[in-house]
Amino acid sequence: MSPEPQAIDRAVSRIGELVGAPGVNALGPGAVDLEGQGDAVILRPLLQDALEDLPVDLCVQPTAGRRKRLLIADMDSTIIGCECLDELADFAGVKEAVAEITERAMRGELEFEGALRERVAMLEGLALSALEACYAERVRLNPGARALVRTMAANGARCLLVSGGFSYFTSRVAQAAGFHEDRANALIEAGGRLTGKVGEPILGREAKLAALRGEADRLGLALAETLAVGDGANDLTMIEAAGLGVAYRAKPVVAARAHARVDHADLTALLYFQGYRAADFVD
């Protein structure tokens, strides 16, 4: 949901008062242009303080190089609105126990790889039909996800879905949203059921960072030309390394260290952050 127009107007007014009225232009619900208004590093905390009580998301960065040429996105609770592992656990009757571990892992309280193995072990014996039912009944793209990916792709950006979740889901979500490629973990199966094991090596925090760096190198891009978005602690290193690292509805440890955060608007805020206008969106 986009912020109310009145909140946007108040935000623009406050920004104008703080940095000087000329050159303050609203691009849309997710972004304001500050034309030639100085150092982004200095402005960011000042504007965050000024807008703290308004439901408006803030991104402060130079205009030059604002449009990114590589998008690396997390899946669970970022591109989609649920945690697939928690939902699978519901089919196995162990959602409460699994969701508690998921929450702690996403907050950075548990080592991701060990937490993933522990949760997957609780799914041992679950019929593969549960994966199909889970995807059909519970997995939905978050608002703005398709527009974000397809608009960036239409403008020449490479778009990767890189998840600590599972390839069964990422392959389908990537196709629905328009990603060029997806990378994730593999659930091991035998005889039509899950074995409670996950393929090794596990795609976690360091693998996400490696995907960002590796794809940028392959494309001949500087990290400044990249955008990463996620919500959990296993996304933090790629978010910090990207040219624009965005925390989407994120855990506190991630929100505190990202370049920008989206707490109010939908995922099209990432397009506004790059200088796109609503008329540019592809959906």
The span from the CA of 19 to the CA of 237, in Å, is: 32
Q: Which residue has the higher pLDDT, 63 or 188?
A: 188
Flag whether pLDDT at 265 surpasses 60. Answer: yes
For residue 169, what are the contacts with CB-CB under 8 A and spacing of at least 6?
A: 75, 80, 84, 131, 135, 139, 163, 184
- Tens digit of pLDDT for each residue in 95-134? 999 999 999 999 999 999 999 999 999 999 999 999 999 9
- Tens digit of pLDDT for each residue in 2-31? 556 677 677 767 776 676 644 555 556 545
Among candidate residues 9, 39, 76, 182, the one labeled active-site is 76
The secondary structure of 22-38 as a DSSP string is TTEEEEETTEEEETT--
Residue 74 is among the residues annotated as catalytic for this protein: yes
Among candidate residues 33, 49, 53, 74, the one labeled active-site is 74
Stretch 189-202: mean pLDDT: 97
Contact between 70 and 151 (Cβ < 8 Å): no
Percent of the chain's residues with pLDDT above 90: 71
Neighbouring CB atoms inside 10 A of 190's CB total 8
For residue 49, what are the contacts with CB-CB under 8 A and spacing of at least 6?
A: none
Residue 48 DSSP code: H
Contact between 184 and 199 (Cβ < 8 Å): no
Tokens read off for 205? 């925090």
Half-sphere exposure of 118 (CA within 13 A, CB side): 15
pTM of the model: 0.89
The per-residue pLDDT for 22 is 45
Residue 263 is among the residues annotated as catalytic for this protein: no
The span from the CA of 57 to the CA of 137, in Å, is: 31
Contact between 209 and 180 (Cβ < 8 Å): no
